[in-house]
Structures are given as C-alpha cells and as structure tokens.
A and B are shown apart, each in its own frame.
Chain A
C-alpha cells in the first residue's frame, strides 16, 4: 500500500493546501515540504526492494473493458525519477517560500506545484500507458497554470498559452501512439508492452506509432523544432523554471524515451529520427544560448541543448549510450536546478537578470557566486564535476559509434562543437555576471547575499554535483545501475564510472571543447560587441503565432460557412449528408444486383389507389404555396396510407392512421388562422433546383432501399410473438399485446413523449400573445354565425354513441383491432367535433378544460401498472391476466395489461385535446379581443 500512498501524497497535500486560508503562505509551504519529504522517505523505505531488482506494484481494475487498470509500478528508472521529483521538489519548496513576494498569492503557487508533483509522479509510476497519458496531460495543464502564475502579465499568459498548445498537441499525438501500441500489443500494461518489442517493431504500424510517440516526447522535452516554447516559459516564477522547465517536466519526454526504449528502440527509424533530432537540438540550443542576454534565457537554451544531448544518447541505440543518457538526466537536473535558483537569487537581490546590466557580483555576493560558478563549470563539463563524467561518456559514445556513412564524422564533430558552445555560454554566464568589472552599468538594487535558507537548496545541489564528480562510483553508481538496468530491460554493459580513463580520444575531445569554448567566448567578447547581438529571437515563436492566427482564421471561416445561422441551410446540409451516407454503401459495393424474383401481383383497385396517393403527394408539393389546398391534398395522402394499411393486413394501423390524419388536418387548419394563407415564391431558382435534386435523390434512394428489401426473403423474430400472444399475453390481437406487454416499456416511453409534447405546447401557447402588429386573416364572415344548428344536434347525438364505441374499442383492444391509442383518438375527435359545433368554451365548460391532468393520470396509471408487478416480485411491467366471472355474461378476460392500456388511452386523450384546444382557444381569446 505504500505505492498508492506515494502517488496520492501530492494530491492529498494539494487538497489540504486548497483548504487553507488565502494568506497562509507559510502553512502552504510547510504542507508542500512535508509532502515532498514524506515522499522521499517512502522512496528510501522502498529502496532496498528496488535495488534488489524487485518491482513493487499495486493496481486495481478501473475500466476493464478498455484495458485500463489503475496501477503503479516502481522499477529502477521510476525510482530514480521519483527521487528527482520529490528531492528537488523539497528544495524548490524551501526556495520558493523565500523567493515569492508577499503580494504573490502563495497558496495558489503551492497548490499548483503539488498538483504538478502529483502528475509527474503519476507519469513515472504509471503501470499502464493510458494512465501515463492521463498524468502526462495533467503535467501540461499544471505547467500552463504555473507559467501563467503571474496572470496579470500579458507575456506570462501568452507563454502559458503557447506551452499548453505545443505540449498539449504533443500529448494528443502521444495518445494516438499509445492507442496504436495497445492495438498492436493487445494490452496497455507497461510490462506487456516492454516485453512485446519484437511484435511492435514487426508491425506495419510501427513507424506511425513511433512517430506519434516521439512527437509527444519531443514537444514535451522541447526538441527542435518545438523548442521555442521553453524560452518563452521563462515568464514563470524562477522556482517553476528550476523545477518544471529544467529538472522534471521537460524530462518527462526523455523519461518516455527511456521507458519505451525496449519496446520502440532497436530499429533504423528510431536511430535516425531520435539521433538527428537530438543532434539538431543539441547544436541549436547550445549556439543560441551564447547570445542570450537574459540569465534565464541562457539557461533555457542551455536546457534545450542538454535535453537534445540526452535524446541523442537514447537515439544512438547503444547500451552504453543509454547508461550515459540516464546519468546525464540526473546530472543535468542537479546543476541546472541549482543554476536556475542562483539566477533567481541574483534577480531577487539585484532586481535584474540582464547580463548587459549585471557585473562584478562576486564582490557583493561571494557565496552565491561560488556556488553558481561551480554549477556553471559542471554545465560546461569541467573535470571533478558531474557534468564532466556524463559528457565524457557522450564523447566516447559519439566517437565509438560503428555506423558507416555520414554519422561517423558528423556525430563526433557535432559533439565537439556542442561542447565548445557549452563552454562558451557557461563562460559568459560566469564572466558577465560575476566578473566583467569593466562594465559600469548601474544595478537596480544594491546587491547583497540572500537569506540563508534561500541559498541552502543551491548548496545542497552543488555539493551533489561535486560529490558525484569526484567519486562517481561510490555516490551515484548503484542508483545509476538500477535505473539503467530498468531502462535497458537487459543486463548492463560493462562500464566504469571513473574520473580518469587515461589520455584517450574522448579526453582529447574534452580538452578541445574546453579550450575552444574559452577561446570562442573571450574572442567574441573582445572582438564583437556581444551585448548588442540579438540571436534566436525570430523563428519558432513567430511561426507559432502565424500558424495559430491562420488556424483560427480558417476555423472561423469554416464555422461561418457552416454555422451561417440559416436553419434552412442546416436542414439542407443534414439532408445532403443523409443522402450521401445512404448512397455510400451502394457506391462502395459498386451497385447492386437487380432482383429477378417474382413480385406480388397488383390488383387494379389497389393500383388506382396507389396512383392517387402518388398524385396527392406530388400535388401537396406542387400546391404547397396555396396552403389550404395543400392541407386538403395532404389529407388525401394520409387517407391513401390508411387504405394501404387496410389492404396490407394492418387494421390497427389503418384505424390509427385515419384518426391521426383527421386530427392533423384539423390542427393545420387551426394553425392556418394564424399564419399567412400563401407562401411567397422562393427567390432563388438555383437553390430550388438544388433542393429538387436533393429531394429526388432522397426519394429514389428510399424507393430503391424499400424495393430491394421487399424483394428479399425475411427472417423475423415475430414467430415468437405470434406463438405466445395468446398463451402468455392473454390476447389475440398480437399488435396490441406487443404494445402493452412485450414492448410495454417502449410504449411507456412513447406516451411520455406524447405527454411532454402536450406540456410543451400548453406552455408555449399559454404565454404566447400574437401581437396586434402581426397581420392576421380575419375570420371569415360565416364564423360570426359559427355554430350551425344541424351540426350542433348531430354532434350531441353522436357523443354518447362515440363514448360507447370508445369503451368498446378500449376493452376489445387486446383481442381485436382497437386499444388505448385508437380509443383515445376517437374520443378526442368526437370532442373536437363538438367544439366545432358548439364552440370551445362550451366543451371547456363541461370538460373543465384540464386535459393535462388526464395526460398525467394516464402516465401515472401506466407506470403504476408496471410498478405493481414489483409487488408480486416480478420485473417492471410484467403482465398477468385472469378471467373475471361476471354473472350472466360469463368469463371476461382481464389482463393487467388492460390497465396499462387504460393509461395509454388517458394519456392520448389528454395530449390530443391539449394540442387541439390550445390552438382553438387561441383563436377564441383572439376573437374576443378583436
């Protein structure tokens, strides 16, 4: 359980910090320090296990269906990184507590810092690549928050933005790569992936996978050409630069390379992509570092260059180079973090970090100067310091690479050139800041040594630099061995960690680099006005701004084209897309087989009715501008559909269709009271032609689809419904049994839709008052005498009869055509007839006008029937039936489903009445107002 505790500690700390009061900076710092130190303690407790070659693990299932486990593992590599994160984290907390200004929101700083620490630990501990990606994104986010910490500064916000865009984009690529790996390996577990290197390399997807993963790693580790976000990120407070942008987060990219090296390495694409990227970054970063004037800018470019060096070492694909790479990760973290903190101290105490302003600081801050000089020497690779040893190993690997072709000379040459540049910028850092007494610029604040505790973290790190540099085998040897073994996934090669290997070629290269670098800097200093040179200002950042601006403009153009605000166009796009999607299978299959089987013969009256239907549908479209006419013709279409259902053995459908059609036509007639009677003609012929073409395509497509389906034999699941309707459902009208029993839950949903529509309509019209300014057709003159006597008498006589029919339809519905929907429509239509005959008020007065209550009652009844089956320990809506013995009549079948159907009936009556009378009442009140 120590492992999940280790991973959770920073988040627990973040929670505590977030609960502290705003100004409690000290408490926040103490909490953070406690978290970092406890995490270190846990790591030390676990160390014996890890050093013995065990891999402590812990995991729980998270989303098994996605192969996503929530688990952690701690091998040597993870242990080393975790120690870096927690150890340097603790030092940074101490430093930040003194660095931050009293006006800075301290709680927020430590909150973000802890979140970052947790995310970073998550990356190195994750036992599952998907989990790793999640934490990876979390580091991008927390880095964004930390770069933009001084959110009142525009440059900080912009830099944060840029870093997020680039590392976040890389994170997306990484996710793609990880998904591909999971696809190839069949698992996202780190162990499984590491063991499947051969499978991955043999896969045809290897190169895309590699490129995507490398994109993730290179963006994070600021490799060329994505390096430009890192110098911009120096807008962050210096503790953040020291922690995230030199020691840990930018190392996440190289950590990923190390982690996945056994799975993705050992190949030509790996060698070329990684080596060349690393070499380019190494040289460009080191060269540009010489010409920075900002202390942090110099360190940032130097960081880029060192990251390039590590990447290059991994790219060489040699066991010894991997060892050197892991070693350099550690060394770089120590000397660069201490340098950043020293730069922060200088900034803090002098008010400037501009090397054109600073000079002679060795006098006013001798201790800081000594520490910074030692750390810079380590950065330059001076003997007796840790940077020298790993750089020596790099030179040895560069010289020893056995690869014919360009790399034999390019690599050693590049290595020496980079060494020269590194010495030059280190020399500049030391000389410009601490010496250069000839300079006489005025330093903003009178410089003095910082408080003791602000310098303490630097001292710790510099001591480590020295100790590792002097006695590498004793100090760092075991840690390096265990981490390198975990990285390689294989036994370690022979190597010796020693200061002195004799006068060999790598030593010669070191000497050239040291001498050449010193010559280069002092030559530049003497013969050029270095402080006027501006380098590395243009390039990536401008390109980013350009791409971002163009990308946004492009997206806006697409949005403006698609989201024009025209509903008509949206519908057109929808239809066009649907037609295209429907046509796609036909196109892909290259057509279809025209069926040859015989069709059912058509009887003449049926053909005639069908043609009438076709003509009526076309008529509706042709006369649509004359709306009253169109509604009438539409009624004919509905009638034909209804007749079709009669002919094709669907009596229930025919009844429903007929009744719904009547209600629809009445509804449209009512609505036409409030809408223009005619549509104006369309303005654009081209548009109409295009719509016609779309409509024709849709029609032909659907006709083809229906025809081709009809001609095929079918296998239906309905045999079951037919066979069991009577014995299980207790009804012989199978359609009704399906509705109220087998698919009762669906029907419950459907009456709910009906109810919702009714409520919506009531709400919409309840609040709608058509303003007087709207031009409204006056009711025709006949309506003043609106209720003809004959109609009144017939309608009233008809009502009891209709009621009787309704009850009949409802009761017999289970066995013969009928049922809740149909009965509901019948009675609703009778009430409408009555409204036409007597006026809406007359009916309202007698029905109390509360149709929504009918709907609600119906829905509750239907739901209660379903719930009732729980009482007898059956699932929701289980139906049962029995026969009720009624004296003189005999056995009456009584299914619980009949109650459900009663609910359907009530809902339908209520909903249809709401719809019709809401519109009717609208004209009623309106008429009163006129």
Chain B
C-alpha cells in the first residue's frame, strides 16, 4: 500500500509539474490542480496508513493512536482542499482577465517565439 500511495503521489506531482510548465494558462491551471492533489496527499500520508480507523471517538474505544487515524493531517488537508479550490478559481479568473486584456491565453502573451516582455 505504501508503494502504491507513493507512486500515485509521484505521478500526480510529475504530471502536475509538467502541465505547470506548459505555455497556456488553462494547462497551467490543470497542472496546479494536480500538484495540489499531490501536496494534499503528501501531507495526508505523513499521518501514515490507517485503514478503517476514522478519527471519530467511539464510546468504549480508548482514544489513542492505536485505535484511530492521526487526525492532525486530516485537519490540515481539509482546509488545504478548500483553499486549493479557491486558488484554482482565482487562477482561472486571472487567466480570463489576462485573455480579455491581451487577447491571448499564452502565459507570456507572446505569439512570436523568444520575445522578452518589458512590462511588469
């Protein structure tokens, strides 16, 4: 299971990075989403693997890590998921605004190759 999880995270990160480095805004947003998954699952996995031990205290079951999954990474990742969503939304809107402003969805707004931009 550990290996499977690690490979899954690795693939998420690899594809995320690859798409992040593409030249068009939408591809970058896709990449960022994948990279967010990778980051979330990485943080999540720091709590180690626990199957069928949700961190919801049951009466009569001693509240120790032996009986429950580590709740801390869950809490960290939960807000991270919501914030990744917000960031994806923001980035998409910026992509739209950029296209409205420049007429291009290229990240560098350069239809011709290798032209450096002075702006910004």
Contact = CB atoms under 8 A, between A and B. Distances in A.
**Which bracket fits the contact residues of B?**
35 or more
What 4 A-B pairs are tightest by C-beta distance, nearest first?
A699-B14, A703-B10, A565-B117, A707-B6
Interface string A173-211: 000000000000000000000000000000000000000
Interface of B: 1-30, 33-34, 37-38, 40-42, 44-58, 63-65, 68-72, 74-75, 77-79, 81-90, 92-97, 99-100, 103, 105, 107-108, 110, 113, 116-120
Most buried by B among A614, A698, A725, A746: A698
Most buried by B among A653, A770, A919: A653
Given A653-B74, A668-B29, A703-B13, A572 B82 contact: no
Given A602-B1, A692-B18, 20 more contacts: A566-B110, A600-B51, A614-B8, A621-B34, A671-B26, A671-B93, A671-B95, A707-B5, A714-B46, A714-B48, A716-B65, A719-B64, A722-B63, A725-B63, A726-B63, A733-B57, A739-B79, A746-B79, A760-B90, A919-B96
B99 A774 contact: yes
B69 to A, nearest CB: 4
8 contacts: A645-B44, A650-B44, A657-B81, A667-B89, A671-B95, A738-B71, A754-B83, A817-B54
Interface in A662-706: 663-664, 667-668, 671-672, 674-676, 679-680, 682-684, 691-692, 694-696, 698-700, 702-706
Contact of B108 (A568, A702, A710): A568
A711 interface: yes
B79 A747 contact: yes
Contacts of B119: 565
Interface residues of A, number: 121
B16 to A, nearest CB: 8
Nearest to B50: A649
Nearest to B48: A714
A768 B116 contact: no
Contacts of A676: 24, 26, 105
A653 B77 CA distance: 7
Contacts of B16: 695
B33 A660 contact: no
A571 B71 contact: no
B85 A716 contact: no
A706 B42 contact: yes
A614 B55 contact: no
Interface in A712-746: 714, 716-719, 721-723, 725-726, 732-735, 738-739, 743, 746
Contacts of B37: 637-638, 641
A908 interface: yes
B78 A652 contact: yes
Interface stretch (A378-386, A406-414, A605-613): A605-613
Most buried by B among A641, A651, A773: A641
A568 B21 contact: yes
A667 B20 CA distance: 18
A634 interface: yes
A613 B21 CA distance: 22
Contacts of A649: 50-55, 68-69
Contact of B71 (A602, A634, A641, A722): A722
B48 A607 contact: no
A702 B55 contact: no
Contacts of B10: 699-700, 702-704, 706
B14 A696 contact: yes
A672 B1 contact: no
A543 B84 CA distance: 55
A702 B42 contact: yes
Contacts of A695: 14-18, 21
A846 B93 CA distance: 25
Nearest to A665: B33
A733 B56 contact: yes
A667 B23 CA distance: 21
Given A617-B34, A660-B81, A738 B9 contact: no
A189 B35 CA distance: 51
A537 B90 CA distance: 62
Nearest to B6: A707
Contacts of B82: 656, 660, 750, 754, 821, 825, 908
A683 B113 contact: yes
Contacts of A918: 93
Contacts of B4: 602, 606-607, 610
Contact of B41 (A568, A644, A734, A825): A644
A648 interface: yes
B13 A723 contact: no
Contacts of A617: 8, 11-12, 15, 34
B93 A919 contact: yes
Given A565-B119, A679-B26, A621 B18 contact: yes
